[in-house]
Amino acid sequence: MGSGQAQPAITNPPENRSGAHRNVHWRSPTVSRLTSTRPRCMTRFAFPDFEAYAEAIPSLQGRVKLASREQRGWSMEVVDAGGLVLVGGQSGAAAIYDGAYQAGVFGIYAPSAGSETTINGQQVHDGMFALLPPGVELHARSRAPGHYFGLDVPQLEMWQRMQREGIDLTTWDGKRPWVVQRPNAVVALAAATLDAVQRGGSPPPEAAGRGLRERLLQAVTDALAAPVPRERSGQPVTRGRMVRRAIAVIDARIESGESLAGLPQILNVSQRSLNRAFVESLGMSAQAYVGMTRLHAMRRALRAARPGDTVTSLAARLNIWDCGRMAGEYLQLFGIGPSEELHRALRTRS
């Protein structure tokens, strides 16, 4: 989110006397710069594709990979909540996210009904939320497109509040997401606030300006106040570490065109253990993840193609030899064939 990025263009501003929100057509990752410091101001973003959407997620650093063809548009609404960043997002497809929350910021993630989200092997259902610690690697899988709410909280303030409220932290080391599995007011308050601002009015009196900040933080700490469930064994952490190592190797080798034959041997684990770890964390086998990652690498290569490049030559650089099968899978995932993708890229550069 560097300062040299071009500003998104504001398009079709609504006729709204309250000035409560504005529409933005996405061009670059500058969400943090566009969020107004005025309470109750909403900035609404519409994204051309999942990659632009991934770049825009406040405070998250990582990559989104499609797990199914896009079914809806990708959008995001950002509201200043008395200095906190409140986000309402819409994903357009089932997807996998690999990355981490930036240093100095705790994240709150709450999915809507039907999204079937898993974060580091823990399911996060409608009405639940996950506390995402800063700097901790995350592997998240949503099995369907859907809405979600997000909230960014400064790390120091979050820790101070947890200590002040006497929250038991003896069973939580701050190195993994904390999923709250009980009814809480966080999701309802976030939804009511976003809905009110979207309609061009003001949030409920108790959720205005600094009052909104206090209510959101109190709702989070109230939900965290119950004892933290202890993990049954060290296996979830071990498998999470295995998945993290495997993803790093897979991504690096695919980008460099190296072979992934013998991946379990490279990681010094069995194929069965590797697949079990991937299924628990991401809902797919390691081999399925490899195939999906190759398709995303192929998409980036096609979009960066230069005159003289062909689908076959680009595929060969990525160690893809069955171009017919790749083309079918590419079309199924992205809704466009690799030849057409290449043609568009070359035409844009001509």
Query: Does the pLDDT value for residue 16 go beyond 50?
Result: no
Q: What is the pTM of this model?
A: 0.76
- Among the three residues 168, 193, 224, which one is the final residue of a domain in this structure? 224
Task: Say what percent of the chain tops pLDDT 70.
Answer: 81
With cut-offs at 50, 70 and 90, classify the pLDDT of residue 11.
very low
CATH number, domain with residue 263: 1.10.10.60
With cut-offs at 50, 70 and 90, classify the pLDDT of residue 200.
low
Query: Does the pLDDT value for residue 139 go beyond 80?
Result: yes
Do 207 and 95 sit in the same domain of this protein? Answer: yes
Q: Which residues pair with 105 in a beta bridge?
A: 154
If you average pLDDT over residues 13-39, what whole number do you get?
37
CA distance 302 to 324: 16
Residues 346, 8, 207, CA angle at the centre, nearest 5°? Answer: 140
> In the structure encoding, which two tokens stand for residue 103, read together?
């240093």
pLDDT confidence of residue 242: 87
In a domain, 1, yes or no: no
Is-contact 202 211, C-beta < 8 A?
no
Is-contact 227 234, C-beta < 8 A?
no
Look at residues 8, 108, 93, 96 and name the one whose alpha carbon lies nearest to residue 58. 108
With cut-offs at 50, 70 and 90, classify the pLDDT of residue 227.
low
Do 218 and 336 sit in the same domain of this protein? Answer: no
Is-contact 180 241, C-beta < 8 A?
no
Q: Which of 54-68, 190-204, 215-229 has the highest mean pLDDT?
A: 54-68
In a domain, 229, yes or no: no
Q: Which domain holds residue 51?
A: 9-224
In a domain, 207, yes or no: yes
Do 166 and 194 sit in the same domain of this protein? Answer: yes
With cut-offs at 50, 70 and 90, classify the pLDDT of residue 329.
very high
Do 83 and 195 sit in the same domain of this protein? Answer: yes
DSSP labels, 169-201: -TT--SSS-EEE-S--SHHHHHHHHHHHHHTTS
Look at residues 82, 83, 194 and name the one whose alpha carbon lies nearest to residue 147. 194
- Which residues are CB-contacts of 50 (< 8 A; sequence separation ≥ 6)? 64, 66, 70, 74, 91, 92, 93, 95
If you average pLDDT over residues 129-156, what whole number do you get?
90
Query: Does the pLDDT value for residue 129 go beyond 50?
Result: yes
Where is pLDDT greater, at 8 or 228? Answer: 228
Look at residues 254, 220, 275, 242 and name the one whose alpha carbon lies nearest to residue 326. 254
Do 39 and 109 sit in the same domain of this protein? Answer: yes
Give the range among 5-19, 82-96, 310-324 with minimum mean pLDDT.
Answer: 5-19
Do 149 and 242 sit in the same domain of this protein? Answer: no
Is-contact 325 349, C-beta < 8 A?
no
If you average pLDDT over residues 311-340, what whole number do you get?
95
Is-contact 1 33, C-beta < 8 A?
yes
In a domain, 330, yes or no: yes
pLDDT confidence of residue 202: 53
In a domain, 35, yes or no: yes
Residue 132 belongs to what H/E stretch? strand 129-132
- Among the three residues 224, 253, 282, which one is the final residue of a domain in this structure? 224
In a domain, 3, yes or no: no
> In the structure encoding, which two tokens stand for residue 115, read together?
């999204």
Do 147 and 15 sit in the same domain of this protein? Answer: yes
Do 146 and 279 sit in the same domain of this protein? Answer: no
- Among the three residues 191, 224, 257, which one is the final residue of a domain in this structure? 224
Do 79 and 194 sit in the same domain of this protein? Answer: yes
Is-contact 126 111, C-beta < 8 A?
yes
Do 116 and 179 sit in the same domain of this protein? Answer: yes
Do 74 and 168 sit in the same domain of this protein? Answer: yes
CA distance 186 to 272: 39
CA distance 315 to 231: 43
pLDDT confidence of residue 4: 36
Query: Does the pLDDT value for residue 25 go beyond 70?
Result: no
| Total tally of structural domains belonging to the chain | 2
In a domain, 2, yes or no: no
- Which residues are CB-contacts of 290 (< 8 A; sequence separation ≥ 6)? 250, 254, 260, 263
In a domain, 279, yes or no: yes
Do 311 and 187 sit in the same domain of this protein? Answer: no
CA distance 38 to 209: 8
What is the residue-averaged pLDDT of the chain? 80
CATH number, domain with residue 109: 2.60.120.10
With cut-offs at 50, 70 and 90, classify the pLDDT of residue 201.
low
Q: What letter represents residue 300's amino acid?
A: R
